[in-house]
């Protein structure tokens, strides 16, 4: 059976060589006589797997030693609570600021309200005019100089790639740009982590659910500056307190061992591709091909302000929405799957993560052309 090209937003396509290697090692990992799923999380084999995954990620993202790298559970959604429980009181103020650019950052902010004094530093949830064009809510990003960060904020949170709206922060603000020098940035980078070089060193913390671009569901990668650890609220569950997880190298309690192992294979695959810069070059070429075609015709439309269009998640609408069902049916027949847009925005969405090759994007663009010829 042929595997279709998978444009799912998450869980999403994984590199085929990773899946093949996992299949080969399924019953016997490296002569251990066991599947990774059957190993003790404190035994030497899994300790090796977990430590190598951490080191490979450190190499790929040039993560400085001042940052702990943690493999946690609960997805980015649980992290929306775990972050304030760990960080909101690190300066004793119990306050945090949030930048809203779409559904994921709005969810983060709502969750944080349970744990302290939370304010909105900026929002793109309104219409605006940019480059002489009307922009709808959540199709643009508020410029850093418009963010109102309070002096007493423990951190300012933003989502660097809004997976649903397809809006990406191409440049992350530097601490100096924020005007409040000692307020660290906290970043939800779930859906573009490892797709482009990201500068961790200007942030307090970056987190990402693995299932978008880095591995299977079940593991959340957390990179957090060590000096911010150790101030968790008393209600923080022990398993989610970074001060417990960091010294145990993610093995405070049983971590998602198999998910960490697969993510580790993905990290090795990325290294073999030439690292993050090589993937970025491929991702730029894929995004240019797809956006270039969408912009060349009135039959399809992407609503996002061009400079902040996501390279990973490409939402688009058909000018005649009554063709949506026919479009999706034809796509499935052409071996292109999971193109339906998020239920809240409708239309279509193509997620073109690291593991989606240029060939898949070429097949999608041929289908877009062909469908337009038949129905335009
Ligand atoms: C998918 C996603 C989430 C939620 O991830 P879960 O693992 O389902 O909790 C949060 N933020 C962003 C940016 C996402 O893409």
Quick one: pLDDT at residue 2? Answer: 86
3-class DSSP assignment, residue 240: helix
Residue 348 pLDDT: 98
- Inter-axis angle of helices 257-273 and 275-295, nearest 10: 80
Q: Number of C-alpha atoms within 13 angstroms, CB side, residue 255?
A: 30
Give the model confidence (pLDDT) of 31-52 as tens digits.
999 999 999 999 999 999 999 9
Tokens matching residue 103:
């559904």
Residue position matching structure tokens 């090759």: 357
Strand partners, 337: 6
Which ligand 1 atom lies nearest to the CA of residue 220?
A: 7
Q: How far apart are CA 130 and CA 347, in angstroms?
A: 23
- Strand 95-100 and strand 117-123: pairing? parallel
| ∠ Cα 283 285 286 (to 5°) | 65
Give the Å distance between the CA of 190 and the centre of ligand 1.
6
**Count of alpha carbons within 13 angstroms of residue 227, beta-carbon side:** 9
pLDDT in tens, 270-295: 999 999 999 999 999 999 999 999 99
pLDDT digits (tens, 9 = 90+) for 289-333: 999 999 999 999 999 999 999 999 999 999 999 999 999 999 999
| 44-61 helix and 275-295 helix, angle to the nearest 10 degrees | 60
Work out the percent of the chain whose per-residue pLDDT is above 70: 99
| ∠ CA 303-195-281, rounded to 5° | 90
| Domain range list for the chain | 18-272, 275-375
3-state helix, strand, coil in the chain (%, to 5): 40, 20, 45
* DSSP for residue 341: P
Q: Is the peptide bond before 11 cis (omega within 30 degrees of 0)?
A: yes
Cα(155)–Cα(14) distance, rounded to whole angstroms? 33
- Residue 180: its pLDDT value, please? 66
Inter-residue contact 242 to 233 (CB < 8 Å): no
Taking Cα atoms as reference points, which of 69, 40, 28, 65 lies closest to residue 52?
69
Tokens linked to 39: 């190993």
Q: Where are the alpha helices (DSSP H) in the chain?
A: 16-24, 44-61, 75-87, 103-112, 175-178, 242-245, 257-273, 275-295, 324-333, 358-375
User: Do the first three CATH levels of 18-272 and 275-375 match, i.e. the same topology?
Assistant: no
Nearest CA to 49 out of 258, 272, 276 is that of 258
The alpha carbon of 76 and the centre of ligand 1 are apart by a number of angstroms equal to 5
Residues with Cβ < 8 Å from 194, sequence gap 6 or more? Answer: 60, 61, 213, 214, 270, 276, 279, 354
Strand order in the sheet with 300-301: 300-301, 313-318, 348-351
pLDDT at 62: 96
Q: Which residues are catalytic?
A: 104, 188, 212
SS3 of 251, please?
coil
Ligand 1 pocket test, pick from 158, 190, 211 with the greatest ligand atom count within 8 Å of Cβ, gives 190
Pick among 1.10.10.60, 3.90.1150.10, 2.10.10.90, 3.30.300.30: CATH of 275-375: 3.90.1150.10
Q: For ligand 1, which residues put their CB under 6 angstroms from it?
A: 10, 75-77, 104, 159, 163, 188, 190-191, 209, 212
pLDDT for the residue 178: 82
Q: Tell me which of 8, 9, 74, 76 to substitute to probe ligand 1's pocket, judged by most ligand atoms within 8 Å of the beta carbon.
A: 76
- 253 labelled ligand-binding: yes
Tokens of 57: 């990620």
What residues of the chain score a pLDDT lower than 50? none
**Rounded Cα distance, 41 and 1, in Å:** 35
Q: Is 123 annotated as a binding residue?
A: no
The ligand 1 atom nearest the CA atom of 209: 7
Pairing of strands 128-130, 133-135: antiparallel
CA of 163 to the centre of ligand 1 (A): 8
254 annotated among ligand-binding-site residues = yes
Q: In degrees rounded to 5, what are phi and psi of residue 200? A: -60, -35
What's the CATH class of domain 18-272? alpha beta
Residue 93 labeled ligand binder: no
């Amino acid at each position: 059976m042929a595997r279709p090209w998978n444009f799912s937003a998450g869980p999403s396509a994984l590199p085929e060589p990773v899946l093949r290697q996992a299949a080969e090692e399924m019953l016997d990992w490296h002569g251990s006589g066991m599947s990774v799923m059957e190993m003790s999380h404190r035994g030497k084999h899994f300790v090796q797997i977990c430590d190598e995954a951490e080191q490979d990620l450190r190499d790929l993202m040039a993560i400085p030693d001042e940052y702990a790298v943690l493999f946690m559970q609960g997805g980015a959604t649980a992290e929306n609570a775990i972050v304030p429980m760990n960080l909101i009181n690190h300066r004793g103020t119990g306050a945090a600021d949030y930048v809203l650019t779409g559904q994921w950052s709005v969810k983060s902010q709502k969750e944080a309200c349970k744990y302290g004094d939370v304010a909105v530093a900026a929002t793109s949830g309104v219409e605006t005019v940019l480059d002489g064009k009307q922009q709808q809510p959540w199709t643009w990003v508020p410029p850093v100089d418009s963010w109102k960060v309070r002096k007493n904020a423990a951190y300012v949170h933003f989502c660097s790639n809004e997976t649903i709206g397809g809006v990406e922060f191409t440049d992350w603000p530097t601490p100096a740009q924020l005007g409040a020098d000692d307020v660290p940035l906290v970043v939800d980078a779930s859906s573009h982590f490892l797709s482009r070089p990201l500068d961790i060193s200007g942030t307090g913390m970056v987190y990402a659910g693995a299932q978008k671009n880095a591995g299977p569901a079940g593991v959340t990668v957390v990179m957090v500056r060590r000096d911010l650890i150790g101030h968790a609220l008393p209600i923080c569950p022990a398993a989610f307190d970074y001060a417990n997880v960091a010294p145990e190298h993610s093995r405070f309690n049983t971590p998602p061992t198999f998910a960490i192992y697969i993510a580790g294979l993905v990290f090795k695959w990325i290294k073999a591709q030439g690292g993050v810069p090589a993937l970025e070059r491929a991702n730029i070429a894929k995004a240019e091909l797809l956006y270039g075609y969408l912009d060349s015709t009135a039959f399809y439309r992407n609503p996002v302000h061009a400079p902040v269009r996501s390279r990973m998640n490409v939402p688009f609408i058909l000018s005649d929405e009554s063709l949506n069902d026919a479009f999706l049916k034809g796509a499935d027949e052409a071996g292109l799957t999971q193109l339906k847009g998020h239920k809240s925005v409708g239309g279509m969405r193509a997620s073109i993560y690291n593991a989606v090759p240029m060939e898949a994007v070429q097949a999608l663009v041929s289908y877009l052309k062909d469908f337009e010829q038949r129905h335009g």
